[in-house]
Amino acid sequence: MSNKKGLLDFHIEFDDEDLKNLFEPFNPPKNLSDKSTAYPVILAHGFARPDYLIDSVFSTLNLSIYDFSFVADRFHYFKGIASHLKKHGYIVYHSRVSWAADVETRSKDLANEVKRILEETGKEKVHIIGHSMGGLDARYMIVNENMAEKVFSLTTIGTPHLGSVIADFVIDNGADKFLGLVGNFMNLGGVKSLTTAECVYFNKYARDAEARNDVVYQVYYSHKAIDEIFMGFQAAAKYIEAEVGKTDGLVSVQSQKWCESLISVQKSKQIEQRKFPIEADHFDQIGWWNLNEFHKAGWWNLSALHEKNKHEEIIKNFYLQIVEDVYKLV
């Protein structure tokens, strides 16, 4: 006998079976076998991901099969993106690295993730799309964890390649003492890893290795008017814009763009610098529409709901285009 449950006050009813279906893993079409032999895609998340608690529950309970369920993917850091890519036949994984740790720790975590995925799929290499610090994790991993031969391409979005003046501000105003106090409880070393001094040092140190390896690098950058950026980022955005120019709210365009080329004694390599398809803040880049107005996007406001759905579709198709483009390079 089926138990009926009410949903809020709208007298919508659903069965236990309906609820179960919300958590069923997404199964892509079976007629896209030409892509099943290609390299898997890893979506590498950034610093202090806001969905960490939800993801940790899934991971702790060993519910990895639910990574692409209706609920999990729509509340994931990369909102709805993995399921969209899987729907088009691509092999996709989310990374799981330390929440706010230093880049050395996170890059080791990512290296373990890559090795696990390659063993699971039987592939030789992966494509990585890294958002924010996820891009730095991948770069550091490729160089310092000797993973260049296991990565075909790295695409970064909103990544602070030249560091973050916000991280500088935090450290300069005594946060290093706070980080020291909480260090016994959790690793928040990622703040220091994001400072301009740390990133400038790594860029010089890694330049020769990055120029010589066979990894394809490309970057995407974006910015948005300060008053349209997520309100939680606006104070930081004003500071960044005053210091170094246009920003997505947390990272300057200058830092996102990294450099035009990598040059070593033996080899040089171009870095494709591409503009994001729409004006976007740091959350827009991963599919989260206008969090300042998110509460308005419901059945009672069809205009806002349409705008939200359109935004999410643009972002999901943008990631799809990235994957389609890097697959053509193999």
170-183 per-position pLDDT tens digit = 888 876 554 544 44
Distances in whole angstroms, Cα of residue 272 to Cα of each of 152, 165, 220: 15, 24, 8
> Residue 224 — φ and ψ, nearest 5°?
-155, 155
Region for residue 132 given its phi and psi (left: phi exceeds 0; alpha: psi -120 to 50; beta: otherwise): left
Q: Is the pLDDT of residue 137 over 90?
A: yes
In three-state secondary structure terms, 176 is helix
Residues 6+ apart with CB under 8 A from 156: 129, 130, 131, 134, 135, 138, 139, 217, 218, 219, 220, 256, 258
Least Cα distance to 215 among 145, 274, 127 occurs for 127
Between CA 41 and CA 284 the distance in angstroms is 21
Q: Which two tokens stand for residue 283?
A: 């959350």
For residues 126 and 289, which has the higher predicted lDDT (pLDDT)? 126
The Cα–Cα gap between 190 and 195 comes to: 9
Task: Please give the structure tokens belonging to residue 232.
Answer: 């939680």
Residue owning tokens 């106090």: 181
The pLDDT tens digits of the residues spanning 274-312 come to 999 999 999 999 998 776 665 454 545 666 667 878 889
The predicted pLDDT at position 99 comes to 85
Q: In this predicted model, which residue has the larger pLDDT, 143 or 99?
A: 143
**pLDDT of the residue at 190:** 85
Domains, the chain, in order of start with CATH, read 31-329 (3.40.50.1820)
Q: What pTM value is reported for the model?
A: 0.83
191-210 burial, b if ≥16 CB within 10 A, otherwise e?
bbbbbbebbeebbeebebbb
Which tens digit of pLDDT belongs to each residue from 61-108? 555 444 444 456 777 899 999 999 999 999 999 998 998 899 999 999
pLDDT digits 0-9 by tens, 152-200: 999 999 999 999 999 999 888 876 554 544 444 445 688 899 999 999 9
- Which pLDDT band holds residue 226 (cuts at 50, 70, 90)? very high
* pLDDT confidence tier of residue 3, bands split at 50, 70 and 90: very low
On whether the CB atoms of residues 44 and 136 are closer than 8 A, the answer is: no
Edge-first strand order for the sheet with 272-275 is 92-94, 41-44, 126-131, 151-157, 216-221, 272-275
Coil, helix or strand at residue 43? strand
Round to the nearest angstrom and report the end-to-end CA distance of the chain: 53
Lowest mean pLDDT among 34-38, 45-49, 184-188, 305-309: 184-188
Instruction: Tell which residue, 322, 306, 253, has the closest CA to residue 282.
Output: 253
Model confidence pLDDT, tens digit, residues 19-28 = 444 444 444 4
Tell me the β-bridge partners of 42. Answer: 93, 128
Average pLDDT, the chain: 82
Radius of gyration (Cα) for the chain, nearest Å? 20
Report, as an integer, the average pLDDT of 226-248: 95
Residue 319 to residue 1: CA distance in whole angstroms: 43
